[in-house]
């Protein structure tokens, strides 16, 4: 191995919906973290590994930092904040369309205590007039001593390579932690459940997207190499169950159809997906349910 090989852990933190997962998928070149226009899409920390000839970047996508309203929210914020002390570099991502708010101040207060260099990543520049960027950058500049401020569009890829170059120069010398073909620390089972949850996020509104969890109950290879997957969508109330099933099962059918496409792309084989809906009252506030659905700090 090259003696000057560089590697390190880079957390991506920020308020919900600023584009953290979109950025991670963009740099990895593969969808490993689900994305949606609903806030609080990501619920766990998810590593995305980018391996180059001379460096390995291990990005950590985190849940958006928000004011928690239940135990699941507490878990999400805690897991995001904890990454601040576990990494070599911190990316604080904001949405260029939004001004400086209380949520940003809350994050900056936490950044005051960290030792690693912090970069401000101003995302969604494709959505704003360049004239608007400068005042925004000046505003943030006054609030914290950022290592550097880098505007990007995670969706379109603008300036993302420049950001990678800058990051590389801040990575310490170190080993290649993961094999070159490994892109994430999570098992396929996790990504499959997330892809199903993403389709529910896309197809439902209001409280439904936030109130569901997806549990994979069975995965098996059947004859002719088809993969058979059974999964339960957990929801909090009977009324939500009705909406998730839809008229003559139409909603569940659409979720299944969209999820199957993504899962087939992930696994590279034909998939048969069977979904059903279960009610688990107030699960987001129950520690035992949270643990059962994989929200545990030591999980990955
Ligand atoms: N126009 C534009 N939209 C973007 C960009 N990056 C992300 N988005 C959109 O912003 C929305 C939120 O993206 P996510 O990647 O899910 O955001 P997140 O920060 O991971 O959100 P949480 O997981 O909820 O904290 C999605 O609809 C994305 O398509 C960008 O650079 N430009
Ligand atoms: Mg996310």
pLDDT in tens, 100-157: 999 999 999 999 999 999 999 999 999 999 999 999 999 999 999 999 999 999 999 9
Question: For residue 248, how far is its CA from the centre of ligand 2 (angstroms)?
Answer: 32
Ligand 1 probe mutation, 12, 17, 24, 26, most atoms within 8 A of CB:
17
Residue with tokens 């993961």: 178
Please state the pTM of the whole predicted model.
Answer: 0.97
Nearest ligand 1 atom to the CA of 93 is 19
Nearest ligand 1 atom to the CA of 15 is 25
Residue 189 has pLDDT above 90, yes or no: yes
How large a percentage of the chain has pLDDT more than 70?
Answer: 98
Nearest ligand 1 atom to the CA of 154 is 31
User: Is residue 297 very low, low, confident or very high in pLDDT (cuts 50, 70, 90)?
Assistant: confident
Question: For residue 61, how far is its CA from the centre of ligand 2 (angstroms)?
Answer: 7
User: Is residue 224 very low, low, confident or very high in pLDDT (cuts 50, 70, 90)?
Assistant: confident
What tens digit of pLDDT does each residue of 235-254 get? 999 999 999 999 999 999 99
59 touches 94 (CB < 8 A): no
285 touches 70 (CB < 8 A): yes
| Maximum alpha-carbon separation in the chain | 62
Residue 34 has pLDDT above 70, yes or no: yes
Question: For residue 21, how far is its CA from the centre of ligand 2 (angstroms)?
Answer: 4
Question: For residue 221, how far is its CA from the centre of ligand 2 (angstroms)?
Answer: 30
HSE, CB side, 13 Å, CA atoms: give it for residue 92. Answer: 30
Q: Which residues pair with 55 in a beta bridge?
A: 6
User: What structural domains and CATH numbers belong to the chain?
Assistant: 6-170 (3.40.50.300), 188-299 (3.30.300.20)
Cβ within 8 Å of residue 132, ≥6 positions away: 96
Q: How many residues does the chain have?
A: 300
Residue 1 has pLDDT above 80, yes or no: no
Backbone torsions φ then ψ of 59, nearest 5 degrees: -85, 145
Q: What is the mean pLDDT of residues 2-31?
A: 95
Protein residue with its CA nearest to atom 12 in ligand 1: 17
Q: How far apart are CA 31 and CA 258, in angstroms?
A: 15
231 touches 216 (CB < 8 A): yes
Torsion of CA 289, 293, 298, 300, to 10 degrees: 180
Nearest ligand 1 atom to the CA of 39 is 24
Q: How far apart are CA 178 and CA 56, in angstroms?
A: 8
Please list every protein residue whose CB sits less than 6 Å from any atom of ligand 1.
16-22, 35-37, 39-42, 63-64, 123-124, 126-127, 153-155
What tens digit of pLDDT does each residue of 74-94 get? 999 999 999 999 999 999 999
Q: What is the mean pLDDT of residues 266-294?
A: 96
How large a percentage of the chain has pLDDT more than 90?
Answer: 96
Question: For residue 64, how far is its CA from the centre of ligand 2 (angstroms)?
Answer: 7
């Amino acid at each position: 191995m090259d003696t000057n090989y560089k590697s390190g852990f880079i957390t991506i933190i920020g308020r919900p919906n600023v584009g953290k997962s979109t950025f991670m998928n963009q740099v990895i070149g593969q969808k490993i973290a689900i994305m949606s226009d609903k806030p609080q899409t990501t619920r766990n920390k998810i590593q995305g590994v980018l391996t180059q000839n001379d460096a390995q970047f291990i990005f950590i996508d985190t849940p958006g930092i928000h004011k928690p309203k239940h135990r699941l929210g507490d878990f999400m914020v805690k897991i995001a904040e904890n990454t601040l002390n576990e990494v070599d570099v911190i990316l604080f991502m904001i949405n260029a369309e939004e001004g400086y708010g209380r949520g940003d101040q809350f994050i900056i207060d936490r950044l005051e205590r960290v030792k690693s260099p912090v970069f401000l990543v101003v995302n969604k520049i494709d959505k704003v007039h360049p004239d608007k960027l400068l005042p925004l950058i000046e505003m943030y500049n006054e609030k914290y001593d950022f290592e550097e401020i880098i505007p990007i569009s995670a969706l379109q890829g603008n300036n993302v390579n420049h950001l990678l170059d800058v990051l590389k120069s801040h990575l310490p010398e170190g080993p290649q932690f993961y094999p070159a073909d490994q892109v994430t620390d999570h098992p396929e089972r996790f990504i499959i459940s997330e892809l199903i949850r993403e389709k529910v996020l896309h197809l439902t509104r209001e409280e439904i997207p936030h109130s569901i969890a997806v549990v994979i109950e069975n995965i098996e290879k059947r004859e002719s190499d088809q993969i058979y997957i059974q999964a339960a969508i957990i929801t909090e109330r009977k009324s939500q169950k009705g909406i998730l099933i839809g008229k003559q099962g139409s909603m569940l059918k659409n979720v299944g159809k969209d999820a199957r496409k993504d899962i087939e792309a992930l696994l590279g084989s034909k998939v048969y997906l069977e979904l059903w809906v279960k009610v688990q009252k107030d699960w987001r506030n129950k520690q035992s349910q949270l643990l059962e659905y994989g929200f545990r700090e030591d999980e990955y």
